[in-house]
Amino acid sequence: MKYQYNYSIITAILFTSGILIMCSLYTAIPLTSTFSNEFDISPSLAAMNGVVFSITYSISCLFYGIISEKYGRIRVILLSLVGLVVICFSIGFVNSFYSLLILRGFQGIFTAAFSPIAITYATETYPSSKRLTALSFISMGFMLSGIIGQISTELFIRQFDWHIIYFVLTVFYILLFVLIFKKIPESPNRNPDVKILKFFTSFKDIGANKRVLICYFISLTLLIMFISMYMVLNHYIVSPEINGNAKTAFFVKFFGVIGMMSSVFSGRLSGRFGVKRVLSTALTICLLSIILMGLITNILIITILSIFFVAGITFAIPLIISKINMIVQDNRGFFLSVNTFILFLGTAIAPILSVYLFSLQHNFSMFSLIASIALLATIASILLPDDEAII
């Protein structure tokens, strides 16, 4: 008997899972100074916990597409949650920074399972009329975790020891395991005979789908722009030009949630105007918003512009996935896994870029550099084939 999918419940669970699982990345960002003080190390060394996580996360994203094709999409997500429960519980007891680095590396490996598998699962099991909306919710969950993870950590460490954060995550991951096990059916697209080594031979397929490289370039820019914008914006708000404080920066970041939530309309808009047109518009909004942010000193207008910027980014992520799905006819799991790897590679590049950004003397120069990335992404989106031209 064929399983009847309850798409609303599945989407809600995947959305919530995206927030909580990706919090493994973002909860550690506000802890850099805490690690520096507790382990008596330099801030640059303390920041390595994020770099190690990002590297293992990005590389692992490449392999989960074919692994889940062989063993089952939901089964692999459930096994990764078991790994996260063990790792997060262990981090709760860690008292050595180098032990923390090792555990954070493994945490990145297990965290990486969700995003490429959830995206592939949605493209495989959802009807075309619901697919892009589901991808928008999943992508919005990833982006929301960037704000919720950092804010929750900042609130927790004011009242409790930092270890408690990982015990809380442990409880959440146990609950997610039960919820996914009971409510989300396995994908019918499973190939037990597929060889894991096929992943490496799949790279030759990129040669037959060269247009997907444009999508990959755009994906690479998205989280670089998102993370860099908030780094520069925080610096700008507390500068003499704005004369704000940390609380002001906190609320500006919080209002970014509004921009993220708007991405749920990307499915309807792209259905009416086309994926390429909506994608180019979203990136153009990012470009104009980041330029204006560097020219304006009114905090209310800056907040509104940051909302538009975030909306453009969160619109673009599911639209790129949809475009890849249109361009590629075979081996989509591989191409989507590579896209996830490239997308989150931006989380490792952004901190490196920030070193150069903050070496610039003027805030407008910092915003202009991010704007130049947005300009390249916008031009790339224009070079994509029209939706009607893809067979």
| Residues carrying CATH 1.20.1250.20, the chain | 1-196, 204-391
Amino acid at 199: F
Q: Distances in Å between the alpha carbon of 98 and those of 46, 101, 121?
A: 10, 5, 36
Instruction: Compute the distance between CA of residue 37 and CA of residue 139 in angstroms, rounded to an integer.
Output: 34
Q: Supply the pLDDT for residue 99.
A: 94
Instruction: Compute the distance between CA of residue 50 and CA of residue 350 in angstroms, rounded to an integer.
Output: 11
Provide the residue-wise pLDDT of the chain in tens; the chain has 391 residues: 455 678 889 999 999 999 999 888 888 877 888 888 888 888 778 878 888 888 898 889 888 888 888 899 999 999 999 999 999 999 999 999 999 999 999 999 999 999 889 988 988 888 888 887 888 888 888 888 888 888 888 888 888 889 999 999 999 999 999 999 999 998 888 878 777 777 777 777 777 778 899 999 999 999 999 988 988 888 889 888 888 887 888 788 888 888 888 877 777 788 888 889 999 999 999 999 999 999 998 999 999 999 999 999 988 988 998 898 888 877 777 788 888 889 888 877 887 787 788 888 788 999 999 999 999 999 999 999 886 655 4
Interacting residues of 28 by C-beta distance below 8 A, sequence separation 6+: 49, 50, 53, 104, 153
Token pair 């990706």 is at which residue? 22
b/e burial code for range 27-53 (CB count within 10 A of at least 16 → b): bbbbbbeebbeeeeeeeeebbbbbbbb
Interacting residues of 227 by C-beta distance below 8 A, sequence separation 6+: 146, 346, 347, 350, 351
Q: Which structure tokens are listed for 260?
A: 């993220």
Burial of 299 (0-12, 13-18, 19+ CB in 10 A): middle
pTM of the model: 0.81
Q: Supply the pLDDT for residue 1.
A: 42
Phi, psi of 361 (to 5 degrees): -80, -30
- Considering only the C-alpha atoms of the chain, give the largest distance between any 2 of them, rounded to a whole number of Å: 67
Please name the CATH architecture into which domain 204-391 falls.
Answer: Up-down Bundle (1.20)
Contacts of 166-173 with C-beta under 8 Å, sequence gap 24+, read 166/88, 166/89, 166/91, 166/92, 167/88, 167/89, 167/92, 169/20, 169/23, 169/24, 169/27, 169/84, 169/88, 170/85, 170/88, 170/89, 170/92, 172/20, 173/20, 173/21, 173/81, 173/84, 173/85, 173/88
Q: Supply the pLDDT for residue 18.
A: 92
Would you say 273 and 388 are in contact if contact means Cβ atoms under 8 Å apart? no
Would you say 207 and 79 are in contact if contact means Cβ atoms under 8 Å apart? no
Instruction: Compute the distance between CA of residue 44 and CA of residue 67 in angstroms, rounded to an integer.
Output: 35
Of 156, 172, 142, residue with least CA distance to 31: 156
Secondary element (H or E) of residue 126: none
Q: Distances in Å between the alpha carbon of 335 and those of 117, 149, 314?
A: 12, 28, 20
Instruction: Compute the distance between CA of residue 318 and CA of residue 270 in angstroms, rounded to an integer.
Output: 11
Q: Which structure tokens are listed for 166?
A: 């990982």
Would you say 144 and 262 are in contact if contact means Cβ atoms under 8 Å apart? no
Multiple choice CATH, 1-196, 3.40.50.620, 1.20.1250.20, 3.40.430.10, 1.10.287.1400? 1.20.1250.20
CB atoms within 10 A of CB 298: 10
Phi, psi of 9 (to 5 degrees): -70, -40
Q: Supply the pLDDT for residue 3.
A: 56
Instruction: Compute the distance between CA of residue 179 and CA of residue 27 in angstroms, rounded to an integer.
Output: 23
